[in-house]
Amino acid sequence: MDKVKQFGRDLVGHFQTGVSYMIPLVAAAGLIVSIAVVGGGQNVWNQTSNIWGVLRMIGQQGLNFIPVMIAAYISYSIADRPGLAPAFIVGLVSVQLKMGFLGGMIVGVFEGYLIQWLKKLPMPASLISLKSITVIPLISVLVGGLFMFYIFGAPVRSMQEGLTGWLTSMSGQNQILVSMIIGAMMATDMGGPINKVAYTFSMAAYTSGGYAISTACFIAIGIPPLIMALACFIGKKYYDDEEKENGKTALILGIIALTEGAIPFAVSDPIAVIPSCMVGSAIASGLNSFFGVSQKTALSTFMAVPFASNILLYCISIIVGVVIGALMCNLIKKLMHRDQKIAQEG
């Protein structure tokens, strides 16, 4: 049982590594697509006759490369450098088979552990020099490619299509609930594994046209630092001088949508900060979903305001989430301060 738990923890770490390497690709490609949509409108999706259409094509090629990228770096996390090239190749095969994001993750795990096993196989001394540059890449690409084509392709493609259909058709209370869960997950560990799981799920929705789900993720990214900036401003007596300075930094990081701006507060007082950020982010994402507002860019929180389908309701969602989160944080701090005072007096 302990080995199974350790394997699960290792696998989560490998997924986290893959997502970490993927994020710069998503940021670059997503922003290029966003610029294209801003400049050329929705007509850019079906043409390359002007600069906006060309930019859309460039960005979309980057987004289409996401499964390959995540496959390669999950494999790299498991098997080190020998895992890169085979996973790139088999990842491209999975894209051709339309296995989507799930396919990329499966390729990364399959290739990584296959290569890790091949590295341990004994070989004659005369072949040692060829092992890493010829034998391992050849066998891993052959086996991985054939397995993807004949075994994993059809069922994974069906799962991907089912997930896509579910994401794009979700409406009403189900959509609001999922949006709230995603918002809360984005604020749970602020850049850690849980945050990345929600981000990965939402990017799968974004690349499949599930903008309601991706909007729930993107709107939540800057909420935690904004909560802490407001909490410091309205509850100064609960924060020392260093935290007040961190609050100013958190405001800037919240505006440019960097969740990590709330980490110093979460480290110093996790009991008050983390639940408050989770609740505030969940309310912002859920309320925005309730209003039916979405945006089709990869921009986050306030940076996406100009592209929201209803700017006023989008901003209201952010403000309500931030205010509730800040009030909750300071209320918890007040209760904790009172309990500490009572204990000291006793």
pLDDT digits (tens, 9 = 90+) for 229-251: 999 999 888 888 888 888 888 89
Domain count for the chain: 2
Do 185 and 65 share a structural domain? no
Shared domain check, 295 and 197: yes
Q: 263 and 130 in one domain?
A: no
Last residue of a domain, one of 136, 168, 200: 168
Residue length, the chain? 346
Ramachandran angles phi, psi of 276, nearest 5°: -65, -45
State the pLDDT at residue 223.
Answer: 94
Average pLDDT over the chain reads 84
Domain co-membership, 25 together with 145: yes
Last residue of a domain, one of 117, 152, 168: 168
The answer to whether residues 279 and 327 belong to one domain is yes
CB burial string 67-82: b at 16+ within 10 A, e below: bbbbbbbbbbbbbeeb
Which mean pLDDT values do the consecutive 10-residue runs of the chain (346 residues) have?
Answer: 78 80 77 76 74 87 85 93 93 86 86 92 78 88 93 79 62 78 87 73 76 90 93 89 86 83 82 93 95 86 88 96 95 78 55
Same domain, 159 and 184: no
pLDDT at 32: 82
Give the whole-angstrom CA distance, residue 196 versus residue 50. 36
Q: Do 47 and 69 lie in a common domain?
A: yes
Helix (DSSP H) and strand (DSSP E) numbers for the chain: 16, 0
The string of pLDDT tens digits covering residues 258-287 is 787 888 888 778 888 999 999 999 999 999
In this structure, are residues 65 and 25 in contact, taking their beta carbons and an 8 Å threshold? yes
pLDDT of 224 reads 93
Of the three residues 147, 168, 189, the one that is the final residue of a domain is: 168
Which amino acid, one-letter code, is at 200?
Answer: T
Distances (CA, A) of 317 to 101, 108, 289, 321: 30, 38, 9, 6
Domain span at residue 207 reads 171-345
Residues 162 and 181 placed together within one structural domain of the fold: no
180 shares its domain with 311 = yes
Task: Answer yes or no: do 54 and 77 share one domain.
Answer: yes
**What pLDDT score was predicted for residue 171?**
53
Q: How many Å from the N-terminal Cα to the C-terminal Cα in the chain?
A: 46
- Say if residue 112 is in the same domain as residue 208: no
Same domain, 14 and 155: yes
Report which of 111, 184, 199, 185 is spatially closest to residue 147, judged by C-alpha positions: 111
